[in-house]
Structure 1
Amino acid sequence: MKKILVPTDFSTQAENALKVATQLARKYNSEIYLLHMLEIPLHEVDALRSYNHLPEAIYFMKLAHKKFEALKTKDYLKDLTIHETVEFQEIFKGVFHLCKKHDIDLIIMGSNGVSGLKEMLIGSNTEKVVRTSKTPVLVIKNEHTVFKVNDFVFASDFKDESKATYKKATAFANILKAKMHLLMVNTPNKFITSEKSEHRMTSFVDAFDFKNYTINIYNDINIEKGIMNFSQSINADLIGMSTHGRQGISHFFNGSISEDLVNHAKRPVITFKI
């Protein structure tokens, strides 16, 4: 985990994400890439030609850099390698571009569910970032004076298509020295017997060397409530899941379920793309 991307609008929620990023950066000797997006309603902004004709673009660019300079004076950023970028794009496009350009290992975004980076995390922007990003996305909901993950819930349907993301999740758990609590939520609409569920999960994890886990089958009225209720029952530090397109566990991030989970979960949430 050498490169961490933190999109920021300079809000308290974004700073909460940055503070987590700094803790990880110090622990793992990582560089931090700060990204601020200026979503000016223009058809196209050309860095070489258009600025001379767009005084508003110049103004907002200078304002962003001024805010970056003020931010970088904070004590918690001292002695860290910080890169700043300001781009004129939609947030999900800017994140995708920067991840590809710098080979980012982890994206950390802040949200309180109602303000701050809401526009980055809810609706089409979130779905596009999560669905298209090959980079894990960690959503931080609150300030963490000490970001420590002891118990990591990984929710999945534990089908073969999720094995690639499970491998990424176990690698992340190893980095954090966290215990994984593998979770399959059983709902009335998609009921699977406990015996079949346990057999599927056991067969799934047998293909990996990772051993620091528990297997859990939880019954609830829907998947997102099951994830949140189980996570609360064990006082989990982090919730993780895999996502892609519209298959498997990815339906967590389609429509209201994704918004409800990101908005209502009190714990950090991390996603891994299949």
Structure 2
Amino acid sequence: MKRILVPTDFSEHAEDALKIAAQIAKKINCEIFLLHMLELPSQMSDAISGGSGIPEVMLFIKKANETFQKIKERPYLNGISVTETVHFERASNGILAFSKKNKIDLIVMGSHGSSGIEELLIGSNTEKVVRLSDTPVLVIKKDIGKFEGKNFVFASDFSNEIKKPFKKMIEFIKIFDANLFLVMICTPNSFKTTLTGEKLMHEFIADFDIQNYSLHIFNDANVENGILNFSNSINADLIGLCTHGRTGLAHFFNRSISEDLVNHAIKPVITFKI
């Protein structure tokens, strides 16, 4: 891992994410990219693309650069290479495009989450990035101080399609020398006997050379509650899982557990796209 992207709207939540990104960067000696997206009215965007300098836009850019300079002076960024960029694009689209173009290895984002009708109708930029990013996304919901990452929960159905993103997850947990808790959540709608679940998990893990792990079957009313309740029961530092990246109607009718957890979990969540 060489490059970490931290999108920022200069909010408290974005700074919480930057603090965690800084801790990771210091552990593995990597670079941080700070990205601020300016979503402008269409007429302003057209003027910029045509080379015109609109005073309002120039003011936005100036203010963003001034804020970047203040952020780069934060003590927790000492010794880290930080590159700042301002882009004019819709936030989620711009983040995804920047990540791909600059070969980002990890995106760290802050999120306040959403609920009720707001969550159903629009969701958050963080949620959209989680759903669509090919790069792993680490979502931070609050200032958690020192990020240990020692107890890592990875929840899955342990099907064959999970094996590729699982390899990325293994590389990530090596940063923290974490204890890996692999958990299968069984619900009334997706019930498996303990013997069946354990057999699936043992067959899955046999293809990987990992240590410091344990296998768990956890029963709950639904998958999301199961992941949250199990994570709380072992005092997890981080929750990991995979997302399918559904779009359109498929996404509307089959909301991703990953996105729901991003909205509702207090603990940090990292997602890996299948």
TM-score of the superposed pair, with normalisation by structure 2 = 0.89
For residues 69 and 47 of structure 2, what CA distance do their matches in structure 1 show?
A: 24
1:17 is matched with: 17
For residues 112 and 126 of structure 2, what CA distance do their matches in structure 1 show?
A: 14
* Shift in CA distance, 144/104, structure 1 to aligned 2, threshold 3 Å: same
Counterparts of 1:65-104 in structure 2, within 5 Å, are 65-104=65-104
1:49 is matched with: 50
TM-score of the superposed pair, with normalisation by structure 1 = 0.89
Between stretches 224-233 and 256-265, larger displacement belongs to: 256-265
Give the total of aligned pairs: 266
Counterparts of 1:201-220 in structure 2, within 5 Å, are 201-220=201-220
Taking only aligned residues, the RMSD between alpha carbons, in angstroms, comes to: 2.5
Structure 2 counterpart of 1:135, one-letter code: T
- SS at 1:113's partner residue? coil
Counterparts of 1:143-162 in structure 2, within 5 Å, are 143-162=143-162
Q: What's the CA shift for 1:241? A: 0.3
Between stretches 228-237 and 88-97, larger displacement belongs to: 88-97
* Shift in CA distance, 14/208, structure 1 to aligned 2, threshold 3 Å: same
- SS at 2:18's partner residue? helix
Q: What's the CA shift for 1:258? A: 4.6
1:93-128: CA deviation from partner (whole Å, max 9, x where unpaired): 11112112221111000123359xx99xx7264443
* Shift in CA distance, 143/127, structure 1 to aligned 2, threshold 3 Å: closer
1:200 is matched with: 200
Between stretches 91-100 and 6-15, larger displacement belongs to: 91-100
1:11-41: CA deviation from partner (whole Å, max 9, x where unpaired): 1111111011111111211110000011112
Alignment check: 8 A CA contact 2:242 2:258 kept: no
Structure 2 counterpart of 1:162, one-letter code: I
Identical aligned residues as a percent: 54
* Shift in CA distance, 206/68, structure 1 to aligned 2, threshold 3 Å: same
Q: What's the CA shift for 1:246? A: 4.4
Where does the alignment leave 5 or more consecutive residues of structure 2 unmatched? none
Alignment check: 8 A CA contact 2:241 2:258 kept: no
- SS at 1:83's partner residue? strand
Between stretches 69-78 and 164-173, larger displacement belongs to: 69-78
